[in-house]
Chains A and B, each alone.
Chain A
Amino acid sequence: MAYERIEVYSPHSLAEALELLSQKQEALRPIAGGTDVMVMIKDGVLKEKELLNLSYVPELNYIKETENKLLIGATTKYREIRRSPLVNAYTPILIEAVRQIGSPQIQNLGTIGGNLGTASPAGDSIPPLFVLNSTVKLQKLGGSREVQIDKFFLGPRKTVRQPDELITEISLEKMEPGSYYFFEKLGLRSANAISIVSAAGIIGLEKTTIKYLRLSLGAVAPTVIRATEAEEEATGKELNENLIHVVAKLASEATKPITDIRGTAEYRKKATYGIIYEALYKIMKGFGKKVEYGVENTG
């Protein structure tokens, strides 16, 4: 209802964007797809009165690869990620999550950098980024730094980004061929729902022995978290029902959920157990999703 006057700056290069940001700092809110910021404006809760529109900055929209990594520009849209042969080949777990984000309309506009910047604990692209050992690139006029994803978030809607910095790139580790993975989200309905609990996992198996397990959980703590104790417990062990129970229990214990209209804290703990148990059970039974580099690396 509060339609206040808002100034929008639309730079046409990264240099121009960083320049504006260095001048204006806190006053300026970066915006790309606008799927969150526009709602905040409409609800009258956006504190900044000026927007830095990144839609016309060509340098921020790309998906590239290096030997071990994928590099994704911050304004790359979910739809572009879903359709990317590189992402399909090397980090299919991200596809699994992105296709469950909101509705097609949201996926057509929303960006991966935006999901990071908004920093909702229920952001669905984030759990996969945790298990992909990602780093976030923050650039400012005359410098840049890389932050590990598990150090990037400080709490709901809070990150380490400084007012003069811009999220420009996210880099992900390529998944190992033959590894198994899952992304599961639980919402009140089957699609277009905000997650009550979400979980991502990658598991490397040597026959039935677990070489490594990476697990992350969304919507059950102030930020997305890695379930490190569960991961350590699993390493080197046989994948069987008993181990799955122990891992799921440790993951559940790692959570610090809240009660809100989408679920009670107690339920989120139980559901964390359930979601991990069911996902690992499926992999154990041979029905899990497996990484196969079957795609031409053409980008």
Chain B
Amino acid sequence: MEVFYIDDQPVPFEKGEKILSAALRAGLEIPHFCYHPALSVVATCRMCLVDVTDLGNGRPAPKLMTSCSTDAMPNMRISTQNDKVQEGRELVMEYLLVNHPLDCPICDQSGECTLQDHSYAHGTGHSEMEYNKRVYGWRDIGTFVQLERNRCIHCSRCDRFTREITGTDEFGMFNRGHELTLDTFSDRAMTNHFQGNMADICPVGAITEKEFRFKRRAWKLRKVPSVCTGCSTGCNITIEHDRNEVLRLKPRENQDVNQWWMCDEGRLTYQQMNEREQRLAKPMGRVKGKLLQVTWQQLYDAVADRLEALKPNGEQVVALVDTHSTLEEMFLLRRLLQEVFSSDQVFYPQQDWTQPESEFFIETLITTDKAPNQAGARLLGLKGSQEHDVISAMKSAKLLLVLGNPFINEQPLLDLAGTTELMVHIASRQSEWTDRADAIFPGQNHAEKEGSFLNKQEHWQRFWPALRPSRHVRPEWQILSELLHMGTATPVQQTPQFSQIFQQMTSIEHKLFGNLALEKLGESGISLADLRQQSDTLAQTA
């Protein structure tokens, strides 16, 4: 690959690539506003000016060039730090702030604002502008975002987003010159399902999320990488939380899964993570027909006693699992049934789903399968409800284990639950199953525990705990592994670590997961097809 030089540092580039994109790929920062890798180049903010001291042919460029629109050439030499460039940036910064209200104290973007950062790094700190700024009013432009046109620096990313990414053409430029403003057409609110992304790509506080408005300063937020549970796409997200409350979800770039985007529906799943009213907060057991709060030990003992009395055979044990459960939980549940009860009756709600086809990639993000891990259940060989008769299996069941809240709309199954001798519910939220349960093991929600999902394309992704859970709840994988130990009578030395569970799964199911260690499953996950290919080549070389 040929190289050019930025401040004497060699930067490799592909033919036809622009200076800025090659620099960003190499980890070098050139300040910019209007450029975004997903959008077309307009070169209008003029912030990314660089001094091309040698065009690759020994001659310098006659004036400062915008690095976003200038082709990189072999042996080109570029200065991003000299006085000429500094002066150019100061000028652009000064002009950008001419009509910007500088209302950072009341602006949600403050703290994560590109204009703030660049002004601090490249501005002069003072302005000679002494005239009134032009003023526009607030605009309600959609269900998810709000527009403050005064803060706009006219980078036109939002305009290009609706034109090139969603294809909805809802945004446009109005007026000319210093009165230029960006707004929705015909004063209509936007209807696309990806408005939150416009708040993300807006470099300033012009477009902000309504859900997050005035809730927290950006610098208060702590960020944890995670995976969206809204549908089977499994968009990579960052959980942003403070004081044990999730405040918003932001997409995390992953070119294999969601690129830079996520849908608004997915962003709203943060509400479920903060959910308190429906939460199963403490272990409960049914004593003389009434659900009473018990200790964990009492609950385990009681379940053990009942099982001793029931002695169910393999036919008489049924487990229902939610496809919101993680791979590790499904694996442990399957193992529990296999090893303790010699049963393979683990059913999951199988759902037909369609992959929407569209010329716009972003449209393909929303699938009709609203659970994040159906592919995982299928891969682990659990029984899909469409291919197997759950009802007849339930009819002969003495022990029913329900993990999560599956099949809550299937009344026949709910009715049959009442007829089983023992019903165990392991979940973080109440549902119709809770009323019918004899033992309730309170689990943790998505933001509190660790785990991994397999998305619709069998891309394997893990997530990390963000919130601090209540001390009365335990992660589902821990509950299941404790039940497993209880059933096989192996003493539990200490609370297991998630990494151990993960290791167990990948080594027992090494054909599926290639014996992968937890550390190897990075933030952007890994495609199972790639993993298989890797282990195949490993096997061949061995």
Question: Are A and B bound to each other?
Answer: no
